Amino acid sequence: MTIHLSPTIKIMRKYILLGVSVLIILSVVTSCKKYLDVVPDNVATIDNAFTMRTQAEKFLFTCYSYMSRDGDVYSDPGMLSGDELWQVVGTEGTYSNIARGFQNVVNPYGDNWEKYYRALRDCNIFLDNIGKVPDLKETERRRWIAEAKFLKAYYHFYLVRMYGPIPMVKKNLSVDADINQVKVFRDPVDSCFNYIAQLLDEAEDGLPPTIDNPTDELGRVTQLIALSLKAKVLVTAASPLFNGNPDQTSLKNSNGTPLFNPAESKEKWDLAAAACKKAIDMADEQGLKLYYYNPAFEQFKLSDSIKTQLSIRNAITDKWNSEIIWANTQVNTAGLQALYTPFLDPQFLDQTATRGLFSPTLKIAEMFYSENGVPIAEDKTWNYANRYSLRTASEKDKKYIRKGDITANLNFNREPRYYADLGFDAGIWYGQGKYDDKKDMELFYLEAKFKEVQGAGKGGFATVTGYYIKKLVHFENVITKTGYSVTPYPSTIMRLSDLYLLYAEALNESASPSPEVYKYINLVRQRAGLKSVESSWAQFSTNPSKYTTKNGLRDIIQQERLIELAFEGQRFWDLRRWKEASRVLNSSITGWDVNQSSTAAYYLPKVIFNQTFSVKDYFWPIADANITVNRNLVQNLGW
C-alpha cells in the first residue's frame, strides 16, 4: 500500500488541539489565555480535505502513516531494546541504548508519546469529517470509518504497551476547551484495554473479510487483522504485567484514582482465549495455513532437512505467503537484509553491500531446543554440561555444519529452527546462489574466527557474538561483484503461528492443559520438524510430566513462543507482559571470544555487557516536558 500524504495535513495540525499531545507544550512559552485563544483561521483546509473522495482518502492514508515499522531495527523497540540482538560497538543507536540501561526522563529513548497522540488526533479528525464527503459510496465510507477505528485501537494499544495506563483520546478537544479539560488524567489500565477492545469490535463488521485488490491495498486492515489484533490485545491485558500486578498498586492519579487493579482476573484469560479462537476460526475459513516450502518447480531435489529450514525461513521472507495475517509494506527489508547478511562469498569480499551488523547473543543460541524438541538443559540425552566443548562435524551433520570442521557442542544436535535462524562458525548457510545441497561441500559456510572471512578484526563489520541472523535473510538473495541482489518482503506484523501460540497460552491459563492446547503448540512444532509436546517430554525430558501441569505447560508455551518468533520483535514485549524481564534481563550478554583465531580460545564464552533491569524498566518514562505542562499526568514508578 502506498501512503499518500496530503499537503493540507500539516496546515491543519497548526490548530487542532490534541488533549494530551505535545501541543500542550506550547503553554510553557505562552500564556494560557493565548494558548486557548488560538483562532482556527484555516478551517477551510479541513473542509477542503473532505470535499471529495480523493482528498479524504489521502487523509485516511495519513492515519495509516503513523503505523509502527515492526521489524525495523531503527524503528521497532522490540528488535534491539532487549537481549536478543547485540550491536557492533560504535554503531549503537536509540534502542541499543535502552538495552544498555541508558533510558532517561529528559529525552526518553524511543519516545513515541507525541507520535501516537498525533496519530489519534488525525484519526478523530477523519472520523469527525468523513460524513461530509459527497462522492463517497456508503459501503466505502463504512469501510474507511472501520479502518480509522481500528487504527485508533492500534495506536492506543502501542501506547499502553509502552507507557502503561494512558489518557485515552476518544474525541478531540474543541479549540475553546477549558484549561482543566486540556490537563487530562491517565485512565486506569483496565479502562484502556476495554476501550481498545470496544474499538476493534466496532471496526470488525465494516472491514472487508479479505483484500480484493492486492496490487493497491495489501497492508490495509481486514476483519481477520482486527480479530487477530484483538486476540493479542486481550492476551496482553490478561498477562501478569497488567492483570493483578502488585508492583504497580501505588501508581495512582493525583486525585487518588488507582491505575492498576491489584486483583488478578481469570475472566481476562477466558475472554482472551475466546478472542484467539474466533480469529483462528476466521483464518481457517479463509484458507490460511502454516507455511511449508513446497514449490511447484524445484531444480534440485532437496533433503528434508533443508526443506524444513526453508519452511521456517520462508514463513517470514516469502512475501504474502499462506501464513501471513498482516504485514507492513513500508519497512525497507531489502536494506535490513543487507545489514543482517555476513560477507558470504569469498569471490566478492571487496564489496561492502553486506555488513552483518546485528548479532544474536549466546543466550539466544542456548534458548533453542535440542533435536529432541526439549530445552538443552532438560534433555537427558544431550550433554549440557559440556556444551562449550569442541567437536568435529561428521557425515550426519553435513546439512548443518561443514563436514570435518570443528565447532562447539552447542551447535550440534539442535532443532531445525536453530539452523534456520542462526549463522555460526562452521555452520552451513544454505542458498545465496548455491542451491544443490547434495554438493554439501560447495555450499556456503561461515568462518567466523578472528580475521577469517566472516570474523572480526577486518574492515567493515562482523559478528560481535559469533552468531549471525539467517532467519530474516531471503535464501535467494545473491552477492555479486557489484553488490547484493535482494528479494524484499513486507515486514510481518502478525502471522498464524503467533496466533496459535497466543491461543494455546490463553487456553492453558483459562482452563488447564488439554488436547486443544497441545494441538496448537504441536501444529507449530510439526512445521519446525519436531515431535509433539507429549511425545518429546515423555521420551527425552528430565521432567517428563512437565506438560501435564498448568505451570509446566506455561513454561513450555513461553519458550515455544520465544523460539518460534525469534528476531521478529516479539520477545521484548512477551518478557515484559509475562513479568519475566526482571529475571531474564538481569544477566550478562555473552558471546564467543571473537577476537581469538585459535579454535580453543575462540570457543570460550565472553561477557560483552552486564544488563540490569528493575521494575521501573517495564514501562517507558513519560518525558519530563509533558509532566511539566500537565501536572495531572503522574510519572511512571521509579522515574
- Under the banding of pLDDT at 50, 70 and 90, the label for residue 27 is very low
- The per-residue pLDDT for 6 is 35
Interval 567-594: pLDDT, tens: 999 999 999 999 999 999 999 999 999 9
Rg (CA), the chain: 25
Helix H or strand E segment including 203: helix 189-204
User: What 8-state DSSP symbol labels residue 453?
Assistant: T
Interval 404-461: pLDDT, tens: 999 999 999 999 999 999 999 999 999 999 999 999 899 999 999 999 988 988 776 7
Of 19-33, 60-74, 141-155, give the lowest mean pLDDT range: 19-33
State yes or no: pLDDT of 324 exceeds 50.
yes
Which H, E and C letters describe 265-293, residue by residue? CHHHHHHHHHHHHHHHHHHHHCCCCCCCC
Is-contact 356 336, C-beta < 8 A? no
- Under the banding of pLDDT at 50, 70 and 90, the label for residue 36 is very low
Residue 442 CB: number of other CB atoms within 10 A? 10
Interval 383-400: pLDDT, tens: 999 999 999 999 999 999
Query: Among residues of the chain, what percentage have pLDDT more than 90?
Result: 80
- Under the banding of pLDDT at 50, 70 and 90, the label for residue 352 is low
Please state, in angstroms and rounded to a whole number, the distance separating the CA atoms of residues 596 and 217. Answer: 51
What's the whole-number average pLDDT of the chain? Answer: 90
State yes or no: pLDDT of 195 exceeds 80.
yes
- The per-residue pLDDT for 344 is 81
What separation in angstroms does the CA of 331 have from each of 1, 70, 465?
11, 8, 26
Which H, E and C letters describe 428-445, residue by residue? ECCECCECCCCCHHHCCE
Residue 121 CB: number of other CB atoms within 10 A? 23
State yes or no: pLDDT of 11 exceeds 90.
no
- The per-residue pLDDT for 30 is 28
| Mean pLDDT of the 615-627 span | 97
Please state, in angstroms and rounded to a whole number, the distance separating the CA atoms of residues 615 and 637. Answer: 8
State yes or no: pLDDT of 38 exceeds 80.
no
State yes or no: pLDDT of 484 exceeds 90.
no
Is-contact 308 416, C-beta < 8 A? yes
- The per-residue pLDDT for 351 is 57
Helix H or strand E segment including 520: helix 515-527
Which H, E and C letters describe 566-592, residue by residue? CCCCCHHHHHHHCCCHHHHCCCEEEEE
What separation in angstroms does the CA of 562 have from each of 81, 137, 566, 593?
15, 45, 6, 25
Burial of 402 (0-12, 13-18, 19+ CB in 10 A): buried
Beta-carbon contacts of residue 49 (< 8 Å; ≥ 6 apart): 6, 8, 9, 12, 55, 56, 58, 59, 129
pTM of the model: 0.92
Helix H or strand E segment including 560: helix 550-564
Please state, in angstroms and rounded to a whole number, the distance separating the CA atoms of residues 472 and 85. Answer: 13
Domain boundaries defined on the chain: 7-68+101-290+624-629, 304-492
- Under the banding of pLDDT at 50, 70 and 90, the label for residue 43 is very low
| Mean pLDDT of the 259-271 span | 97
Please state, in angstroms and rounded to a whole number, the distance separating the CA atoms of residues 430 and 536. Answer: 28
Helix H or strand E segment including 163: helix 138-163
Q: 148: number of CA atoms within 13 Å, CB side?
A: 28
Tell me which amino acid residue 451 is: K
Q: 133: number of CA atoms within 13 Å, CB side?
A: 26
Of 7-21, 114-128, 264-278, 416-430, give the lowest mean pLDDT range: 7-21
- The per-residue pLDDT for 39 is 28
State yes or no: pLDDT of 41 exceeds 60.
no
Of 360-374, 397-411, 481-495, give the lowest mean pLDDT range: 481-495
State yes or no: pLDDT of 7 exceeds 50.
no
| Mean pLDDT of the 19-38 span | 29
**Paired sense of beta strands 422-424 and 605-610, if any:** unpaired
Beta-carbon contacts of residue 285 (< 8 Å; ≥ 6 apart): none
Please state, in angstroms and rounded to a whole number, the distance separating the CA atoms of residues 626 and 518. Answer: 47
Beta-carbon contacts of residue 329 (< 8 Å; ≥ 6 apart): 1, 218, 219, 490
- The per-residue pLDDT for 350 is 59
The alpha helices in 286-320, defined as continuous H runs, are 304-317
Please state, in angstroms and rounded to a whole number, the distance separating the CA atoms of residues 15 and 393. Answer: 67
The set of cell numbers assigned to 554 is 506455561
- The per-residue pLDDT for 215 is 84
Interval 198-251: pLDDT, tens: 999 999 999 999 998 888 888 899 999 999 999 999 999 999 999 999 999 999
Beta-carbon contacts of residue 481 (< 8 Å; ≥ 6 apart): 347, 348, 351
Helix (H/G/I), strand (E/B), else coil: 466 = coil
- Does domain 7-68+101-290+624-629 bear CATH number 1.25.40.390? yes
